[in-house]
Structure formats: structure tokens, C-alpha cells
Amino acid sequence: MTLHPVHMGLLNKRALIRQLQKAGVASRAGLARSLGMSQPTAGKIVDELLADKILEEVETSVAADGGGSAQLGRPGRQLQLNRSQPSFLGIQLGIQETQLVELPLGATDENVRQITFEVPYISQKPAAVWERELRAAAKKLRAKKFLCVLLSVPGLVDETAKRILFSPNIHWTEGLDLPAMVRRIWNVPVLLVQEERVLALGYHANHPEHEDFFLVDFGDGVGGAVIVGGKPLASPLPISGELGHTPVLGNRRKCGCGAVGCVETLVSTRGLLQSFFVAYPKKKNDWVTLIKHSVEKGVEPWLAQALDAAAVAIAGALNVLGLRRVVITGALMELAPSVLEHLAEAVKKGAMWARFGEVECVGAPRHRTAGLVAVGIDRLIAPETKHTKKS
């Protein structure tokens, strides 16, 4: 198939931006060389992206070649994704707390200014309260204009239709047109994205060498997302990574999804605290106390049982997906190192590939900021069209 020049231009633009995401800083010549483009072609794309303030020039004494290596040189003008001004507004919707962050295209870490507000779960009209608090938070932002708003939400999310179909822990969001509510405050495109996909994309942005992995996040719930070939795994249904709602035989705890026995009721923060209380009814039942206890006592039988249940679900996913790397983020990373070690060993016992090769289970911080930026770049700045997709 012959590509139209316009589509070739989009393909080249996307490739150049992706290369800068990986390299951080690069020269025009280095980008052209690493991408196999002619310097005039690369230069034209760079000029367009500079004019649109997607890229910016910076002075550096190190000249990057666009491929990751560097050589000493005189101070010169290098290129990077714009870090000087926010292009996106990120909104992270949680069970009781919502966070707003102003995001430059070149944001590389989580050290960004956050504005937070709470919506009580027992509120009579949570949607109305949420919109009211969102308007109040908007007045505290430094920037007033954005290219788009990136709205990260948990649950079953139809990103194309921009609807939350089902949210076990935030039922009031189900069926609401949240993007329309946001657009009443900021009249710009609103991209709805499932929160686990954001975390997985953020991890990949910080570890581009890891192109295939299963990320599992432990917090108020337990969710997962799959990255294959550096992209979220596509599925025909708007459901993915609902690891927390895998049933565990013998578990009689009720779950927010309406079922009984979900693994989430054992290894979410609430589930772990419930088990901790059963084991130690006279101890203070809060997360800080549980962290200290795990450091002192390690993995006790009640905790091992919960971790083993999670490991069975994770190993089963690896066996079906054909993956060997698991990335663990969230609350489990706050507990003693022995907790992750126990989970990793339990996963390896159930993963068939461990019989033939190496299965990795590593811990990592949440990279939500980088994930939101990656979504904005992929969907708005350098969107993938049917002409740029691999056949």
C-alpha cells in the first residue's frame, strides 16, 4: 500500500516524538540519523513542532545523537519535548479524592504540583458535589488554557464512547457523561482513560526497554494492564486487567462489584486491614500500623494466604498472555520487602514459563504523570491512524 504524503508526514512526526520521549534530549542531526530520515525532512518536522510549542530548544554542553549515547561538544541548541509550560490537565478520580495536575509534554516524574479535593463517599449527590469542587479547584490552577484534559478513572471504561460502564468502588460515576461535565469548565477535548492503563504507560515511559509486561497495582482495589510491543493490549470489549475480581475458592468476603470471594477483598488495602484485624484484634487497625507490623514480623500465615491467592491470579494471566515480566505498584510496595519477595516466588511457582526460562516480578513506583502525558501525546499530539498502524 502506498502512503499518502500527509499520512507519511504523520508517521514521521509520530516517530520523531517517540524518539524524543526515549532520548530525552537530542539534536536535529541526531534525530534524523536515528530515524533514518533526511535532515531536511527531520528539520521541517522539528520546525513545525517548535512553532506549535510541542518541542522546545535548550542549551546544553552535551550533544545527544538521538540514539541514547552522547559526546562532548560546545554548548549548542538541543531539542526536547516542551517542559516550560503545561499542555495537558490531568485529573485522577479516586474513591474519595480527586487530584488535578498541570502537565507539560516533557514531564518525566511525579514531582508536579497537585491540587486535591475530596468528595465524601456518602454524599447524597456526589456527581454535583464533584463538579462543584472541580470548579473550585480550577481557580487554583496557574494555567487557564490546555490542549486537552486527561481524565483517569477506575473500573470498566469504554474509552471510545467516553463512558464508565461499571465502577465497583465508585458506583456514582457509572453511566455519567463525566467528559461533558469537565468540558463545562474547560472547553477543550477530554480524553477518558482507564487508570491501570495510565500506570502501565507511565512505567513504559520510564522504562522504554521493557516492551512487554503485566502491571498489577494494589490499592483501594487490585487492577492490571498489559503492555505488548510497547502498546496497551487491544481487546474487543471495554474490559481489561480486572484482576481484582477473580474469585478465590473459600473466600466469603463480599466485594463492591456485587460478587463474593474476589481476590480484591483479600489484597486491597481494605482487604489486608480486615485480615490484619482478624489476626490482631487488639492492635490499632490502620495502614501505618500494618506497615510497621510487616517490617517487624515479615510474612505471617494470614498475609501469606492473601499473597498466594493474588499470585495464582497473576500466574494464570501470565500463562494465558505469554508474558514473563510482572510489575507490581501501589500499596504492597509500602510493606516490608519480604512481602514482594513472597509474592514473586509464589507467582513463579504458578507461571509455566518459569520451568523453561526466567519470570520476573519487580516492584516500581506509580508513574501516573508520565502515563497521562503518554496518553495525551498518543491520542492528540501524534495520533495513530489506520494508515500508520502496522498490518
d(CA 112, CA 102): 7
On average, the pLDDT of the chain sits at: 88
What's the count of helices (H) and strands (E) in the chain, helices before strands? 12, 14
Edge-to-edge order in the sheet of strand 114-118: 114-118, 97-103, 88-93, 148-153, 190-194
C-alpha cell of residue 54: 510541542
Task: Quote the pLDDT of residue 388.
Answer: 43
Answer whether 323's CB lies under 8 Å from 212's CB: yes
Beta bridge pairs of residue 157: 164
Q: 170 or 74: which carries more pLDDT confidence?
A: 170
CB of 86 closer than 8 Å to CB of 69: no
Domain 210-363 has CATH 3.30.420.40: yes
Distances (CA, A) of 240 to 37, 216, 266, 354, 369: 37, 12, 20, 24, 21
Position of cell 491470579?
313
Region 3-8 average pLDDT? 59
Confidence of residue 389 (pLDDT cuts 50, 70, 90): very low
Beta strands 114-118 and 97-103, pairing class: antiparallel
Q: Does domain 5-81 have CATH number 1.10.10.10?
A: yes
Supply the pLDDT for residue 69: 45
Assign 140 a pLDDT band (cuts: 50, 70, 90). Answer: very high
Average of per-residue pLDDT across 132-156: 93
Burial of 1-26, coded b for 16+ CB within 10 Å and e otherwise, reads eeeeeeeeebbbbbbbbbbbbebebb
Crossing angle of the two packed helices 5-23 and 39-51, in degrees rounded to 10: 80
Residue 329 has pLDDT above 60, yes or no: yes
Q: Are 374 and 204 in contact (CB under 8 A)?
A: yes
Which pLDDT tens digit goes with each residue over 250-299?
999 999 899 999 999 999 999 999 999 999 999 999 999 999 999 999 99
pLDDT band of residue 239 (cuts 50, 70, 90) is confident
Is the pLDDT at 68 greater than 50? The verdict is no
Domain chopping of the chain, boundaries? 5-81, 88-198+369-381, 210-363
Cβ(241)–Cβ(233) under 8 Å? Answer: no
Let me know if the fold of 5-81 is the same as that of 88-198+369-381. no
Strands 213-218, 325-330: pairing kind: parallel
Residue 251 is predicted with a pLDDT of 94
165-189, pLDDT tens digit by residue? 999 888 889 988 999 999 999 999 9
Q: Is residue 359 within a helix (H) or strand (E), and if so which, with residue range?
A: none
Q: Which CATH number fits domain 88-198+369-381: 3.40.190.10, 3.40.50.11260, 3.40.50.970, 3.30.420.40?
A: 3.30.420.40
What mean pLDDT is predicted for residues 304-323? 96
CB neighbour list of residue 167: distance below 8 Å, 6 or more residues apart? 153, 154, 155, 156, 173, 174
In terms of phi and psi (left: phi > 0; alpha: psi -120 to 50; beta: otherwise), the region of 30 is alpha
